[in-house]
A and B are shown apart, each in its own frame.
Chain A
Amino acid sequence: MFYREAGQFRTSYAQDSQILPLRQDRVGMAVLLMAAALVPFVANAYWLSAILIPWLILSLVALGQNILMGYAGQLSLGSAGFMAVGAFACYNFILRVPGIPFIVAVILSGICAALVGIAFGLPSLRIRGLYLAVATLASQFFIVWSLDKFAWFKNYDPAGVITAQKIMILGHDFASPREKYWVVLVIVLVLTLLAKNMARGSVGRGWMAVRDMDVAAEVTGLSLLRTKLQAFAISSFYCGVGGALFAFAYLQTVEPSAFTIELSFRILFMVIIGGLGTIMGSFLGAGFILLMPIFLNVFFHTVFGKSVDASIASALEQIIFGVMIITFLIYEPLGLARLWQLTKERLRLWPFRH
């Protein structure tokens, strides 16, 4: 009975196509945003650095992956490679362009990743499905190898592991976990809003048209070339920005070995479990994958009274993720996001059944 729409009229098309047409949703979102902004005052440094920051960053990357796979239907296993491009580009921009603002460096890094994305996305014009997945594998392996072997990217540093520079915005060094969190939060929120706008507008419709029936999409006048490459470019931009943040706000190092094929698979799982073709799904999926190890630990503590062995924990994680993917694909291909939507619809009718 809280979630009633009665009395809320939408009197223009613009109103009808708002992101949050229901007042209750708007209130809920406002509360959520306030909570997100204020959480550093209640959470300890561990929660910020090890959970919340990576969650936001990986949600952003998952968002990029979702744009490419969920909305545009292009199977991709190379997200970590584009993250690596972003991370190394950011490092190099800050290194070689003295005084460059951090935000500008991040945006430029995203653009670099986008350009690489377009190049490796060209095969998508002739191939699809598994073939495209293998092409993206090629991009993953080749990019990481190049960044590792061509010493220029690492500024000829013999150490092999580079420390990320400081995050300087308007002269202030955002060094503490709290400050890093706010930087990441703002960037992720802004980019999520942009993605949401694109997904709901003509851009998103173009992507989904190409995903669902590309011959019919062509008949409506869409250029498959432009649409697919645009999806690759925007998706890689998001992955690149995510990669830069991953290196600068989370790991504090810039190294190719952080961006492995295993990470690409994790991102894939986030998107599938979270919900393909949804914005919220990226956040839900990332949260799920990140929190699972913690959940397992807590579970083992409460049920068995002792810590779980690391290798057993990781094996269980693998099994759970794999089983969840298969289960979701069979029963609810739209993932956690759809489950959330169904819950909301139930709430709208509550306490009635239908």
Chain B
Amino acid sequence: MNISTVLQSSPLQSNVLQSSQRAFPIGAPILELESISLRFGGVKALTDISFNVLEHEVRAIIGPNGAGKSSMLNVINGVYVPQEGTISLRGERLAGMTPTAAANLGISRTFQNIALFKGMSVLANIMAGRALRAHATFLEVALQLPRARREETESREAAEEIIEFLEIEHIRKTPVSRLPYGLQKRVELGRALAAEPKILLLDEPMAGMNIEEKQDMCRFILDVNDHYGTTMVLIEHDMGVVMDISDRVVVLDYGKKIGDGTPDEVRANQDVIDAYLGVAH
């Protein structure tokens, strides 16, 4: 059995829509990264990375451990500032990125190690995801003036829609710290969705899940893409998942890009195969 066979296997059953069936056909580049380089002191996390993400597509970032995938996501979302390189949104070059700016531009994300608000319930966490839409001032909220009440009800409605979509109605009032790992990851997805993002960054959304949980998560990811048209960029280790649900794939290794294309193209790329087999380079 060679590596191509492994890369080919897809034990998961999921509905990958053919391009003709898509509710939101893949469009023009929505996100472009050019020559991104990131260093932490002497450690080069990313070196001269360039790729784009097309609107409405599901883009996967894969690579061996330590390849710089999370750092890449952190750069897109403004948590890390690259020493070199630019980010462009819909052709417009951005001056700099901060997490708050990213949120305002419609970029939302989940974290590898769950970053839920541990002191709040599921419902509160998801409603908290809508922070950008809370325009009422603290005084209006304190006095329960009409705009504050209206926004609260709207937030609740939006959150409930997501809760229904993610099938977590039964735990909506539970404090998130009491939930099992898989459900916590689902809640985090919900919180990211609450912001109604254009681009959703998912950092290993299926880490630590068993087969059924992965199937559910795949289903949710594809449903989000199909239902809302959200562009998804996800980091994932499970090859089967990646090959199955993504439209295009970027492969990183030691902070450099070594592959970029459709799953089939990447699967056949010798550099990628070498990287996974651990050929010295």
Contacts and interface: CB of A to CB of B under 8 A. Distances in A.
Interface of A: 13-14, 16-17, 194-195, 197-198, 201-203, 205-206, 208-209, 211-213, 215-223, 230, 234, 277
Given A213-B116, A216-B115, A222-B100, A13 B141 contact: no
B124 A197 contact: no
A263 to B, nearest CB: 26
B102 interface: yes
Nearest to A206: B131
Contact of B157 (A13, A202, A212, A219): A13
Given A197-B144, A198-B138, A213-B116, A221 B195 contact: yes
Contacts of A223: 100
B120 A212 contact: yes
Given A205-B131, A220-B103, A212 B118 contact: yes
B153 interface: yes
B226 interface: no
Contacts of A215: 79, 99, 115
Closest 8 CB pairs of A and B: A221-B103, A221-B132, A202-B134, A218-B99, A216-B115, A212-B117, A194-B142, A201-B141
Given A205-B124, A209-B131, A17 B119 contact: no
Contacts of B191: 220
Q: Among A211, A220, A230, which residue has the most Cβ atoms of chain B within 10 A?
A: A220
Interface residues of B, number: 42
Contact of A194 (B104, B130, B143, B151): B143
B131 A230 contact: no
B131 A201 contact: no
16 contacts: A13-B153, A13-B156, A194-B142, A194-B143, A198-B141, A201-B152, A205-B120, A217-B131, A219-B79, A219-B99, A219-B115, A220-B103, A220-B108, A220-B131, A221-B104, A221-B195
Contact of B117 (A14, A16, A209, A230): A209
Instruction: Give the secondary structure class of A's interface.
Output: helix
Interface in B102-142: 102-104, 108-109, 111, 115-120, 124, 127-132, 134, 136, 138, 141-142
Given A216-B117, A218-B103, 16 more contacts: A13-B156, A13-B160, A194-B142, A198-B141, A201-B152, A202-B155, A206-B131, A208-B117, A213-B118, A217-B131, A219-B109, A219-B115, A220-B103, A220-B128, A220-B131, A221-B195
Contacts of A198: 138, 141-142
B190 to A, nearest CB: 12
Contacts of B109: 219
A229 B193 CA distance: 28
Given A202-B152, A206-B131, A219-B77, A213 B117 contact: yes
A220 B129 contact: yes
A51 to B, nearest CB: 29
B149 interface: yes
B272 interface: no
B158 to A, nearest CB: 11
Nearest to B155: A202
Nearest to A223: B100
A195 B142 contact: yes
Contact of A201 (B132, B148, B157): B148
A7 B124 CA distance: 26
A221 B104 CA distance: 6
B131 to A, nearest CB: 5
A45 B204 CA distance: 65
Contacts of B132: 220-221
B119 A208 contact: yes
A13 B163 CA distance: 14
Contacts of A16: 156
B128 A206 contact: yes
Contacts of A218: 98-100, 103
B119 A211 contact: yes
A195 B143 CA distance: 9
A304 B141 CA distance: 53
B138 to A, nearest CB: 5
A197 B141 contact: yes
B138 A230 contact: yes
A208 B120 contact: yes
A13 B104 CA distance: 27
A17 B128 contact: no
Interface in B81-104: 98-100, 102-104
B149 to A, nearest CB: 7
Contacts of A202: 127, 131, 134, 136, 141, 148, 151-152, 155
Nearest to A13: B156
B176 to A, nearest CB: 9
A208 B117 CA distance: 7
A217 B193 CA distance: 14
Contacts of B152: 17, 201-202
